[in-house]
Structure 1
């Protein structure tokens, strides 16, 4: 190949000439090199933009030539030129046919003025497009807020899935705390049920049983089915009246919790070292025991009795009226001397006909015992009617 050489000094610059009758660009200023416009100048390919003049010149270069425009003009083959040239068809040694028009994006309309004006116009167009996008985005966001979310979450990675699974899984401490909480709740419910049973249901059941025993005892007396004498354990034989406390309760033989006390009755101390006299004995101490709380609680308020208050024992043939004499608020459960024929601590000094009521204290416990004593005041046969203490 030959060395580079300068082009013709005369002739129009590429892209700035006008066409003559032959269709080939001519004219222009003297000394302008053919096709040697600097890159970046308006109208050239160097700055990546086209203006109207360069586009028109390119169109004239590839359009029909001549005055008549019937025949396409091909530029002469110049094997030694270093300027841009139109490539020929594939496989041909030289250029053939008009050049294909380059594919380019649609350009905005040309703006009169220099580069600064074009840049300003481009910024204005970009601002308008951005604003429209923002408006569209805002409207889309409002529609998305109004409609329910339909898109599912993106699939999780294996690590993220494991992490979330571990987060959902309760730790041993949490499991233990839950188990302990359930135990506490269950225990609390059971305790509440037990308290309800003890304080309410046992009273309901015992009072019903005691009421039935009173009715049966009175019916048997009226029909002559029960005779005075020895009684079997658990057998009712008398009624206890405490008018001040509005108490009417059966008296049964023995102090068994299952057979007597838990059935709402009061029991007579009649066994072993705790055996006491019967009401019809000429001297002695008639000892009785009863619940202060639960199971009918017949002795709940005996602490309210005052000296002189009547305590009446009704049997099949006789009414025995005692007057309350003294009270021992607290004593040990093992203090059985309170049941002696002359009860210790009662204030009695000589043999007589006494009654002793024993129960638990403080309330709702069985730690200590409360003792109430009375002394015989009247013995009245049933044939003479009820004593004044029961009539008034």
Structure 2
């Protein structure tokens, strides 16, 4: 008995390792749930931006077109058939946020209407729709409002007129901006326009028909020359015009779903 050695019991903590693995598993599960939730939220945001805002803006823009046509009543111009000059009124001179359009140049206002006719009047109230742009090639009818503010104009699905540019039918440059993607995306397919296509602007009983002359596929967002009274790109001087006249300019973002560059379509008033 004297030779017996007292033994101290040893307890092995094997459960700690198992608890550590369980905790790691729970952490990974929570992280996976968080990532999934974030992914779902991002997907919903994309759906809202790309699909729902389009539906809302398109519906609102169509309603505004109907409201303008109802307000004009009997003075509403009869839509012309492409190539049928007789459809235009006899007193009318017979061409993309989601984005920040180029700043309008100073002193780019109207002047005398082409063909010696009177100007269409003072500039409309800011941010209010006052005209309808129709592009037969694209099957498009969209309200035109004064100003290019995103929230007040462009995000409504409207086309916005650059402040200080000429009024429809006037000598100078009637310059417009519109979204290429989201919020009604009225200018999504303006890249399909070709020389000779018609751009029709209706303003309370008056119809102004412009004919597409040039398309500038890509230029800088700071290329203010494209909306000058005599439009000519200051980035790509080979594109544009040299002589005064009555012009229309459509600008939008390019490539699609970006705002890196601007796509420009020019037209001249049909006389």
TM-score (norm 2): 0.73
Q: Is residue 315 from structure 1 mapped to residue 166 from structure 2 by the alignment?
A: no
Partner of 1:188: 39
Q: Secondary structure at the match of 1:211?
A: helix
**Contact in 1 for aligned 2:65/2:142 (Cα 8 Å):** yes
Unaligned runs of 5+ in 2: 1-10, 76-119, 234-238
Partner of 1:351: 244
What is the rounded CA distance, in whole Å, between the counterparts of 2:126 and 2:74 in structure 1? 22
Partner of 1:220: 71
Q: Is the radius of gyration larger for structure 1 or structure 2?
A: 1
What is the rounded CA distance, in whole Å, between the counterparts of 1:322 and 1:234 in structure 2? 23
Match of 2:158 among 241, 265, 275: 265
Q: Is residue 338 from structure 1 mapped to residue 226 from structure 2 by the alignment?
A: yes
What is the rounded CA distance, in whole Å, between the counterparts of 1:317 and 1:223 in structure 2? 8
Instruction: Provide Cα deviations, 1:186-234, integer angstroms capped at 9, x if missing partner.
Output: 221111001100110001100111011111111111188xx96432221
Q: What is the RMSD of the two structures over their aligned residues, measured on CA atoms?
A: 2.3
Partner of 2:130: 237
What is the rounded CA distance, in whole Å, between the counterparts of 1:297 and 1:277 in structure 2? 24
Q: Is residue 302 from structure 1 mapped to residue 195 from structure 2 by the alignment?
A: no
**Contact in 2 for aligned 1:228/1:316 (Cα 8 Å):** no
Query: 1:242–1:355: structure 2 CA closer, same or farther, 3 Å change rule?
Result: same
TM-score (norm 1): 0.51
Q: Secondary structure at the match of 2:270?
A: strand
Instruction: Provide Cα deviations, 1:90-125, integer angstroms capped at 9, x if missing partner.
Output: xxxxxxxxxxxxxxxxxxxxxxxxxxxxxxxxxxxx
What is the rounded CA distance, in whole Å, between the counterparts of 1:219 and 1:333 in structure 2? 37
| Count of aligned residue pairs for this structure pair | 213
Instruction: Provide Cα deviations, 1:361-390, integer angstroms capped at 9, x if missing partner.
Output: 110111111111111114xxxxxxxxxxxx
Q: Secondary structure at the match of 2:39?
A: helix
Instruction: Provide Cα deviations, 1:319-349, integer angstroms capped at 9, x if missing partner.
Output: 1111111111111111111111111144311
Q: Give the drift of 1:317.
A: 2.2
What is the rounded CA distance, in whole Å, between the counterparts of 2:74 and 2:199 in structure 1? 26
What is the rounded CA distance, in whole Å, between the counterparts of 1:350 and 1:223 in structure 2? 37
Higher strand content, 1 or 2: 2
Q: Is residue 210 from structure 1 mapped to residue 98 from structure 2 by the alignment?
A: no
Partner of 1:250: 143
**Contact in 2 for aligned 1:206/1:295 (Cα 8 Å):** yes
What is the rounded CA distance, in whole Å, between the counterparts of 1:347 and 1:335 in structure 2? 12
Q: Give the drift of 1:260.
A: 0.8
Q: Secondary structure at the match of 1:199?
A: helix
Q: Is residue 177 from structure 1 mapped to residue 24 from structure 2 by the alignment?
A: no
Partner of 1:15: none
Match of 2:172 among 284, 309, 313: 284
Partner of 1:4: none
Q: Secondary structure at the match of 2:142?
A: strand
**Contact in 2 for aligned 1:240/1:313 (Cα 8 Å):** yes
Partner of 2:258: 365
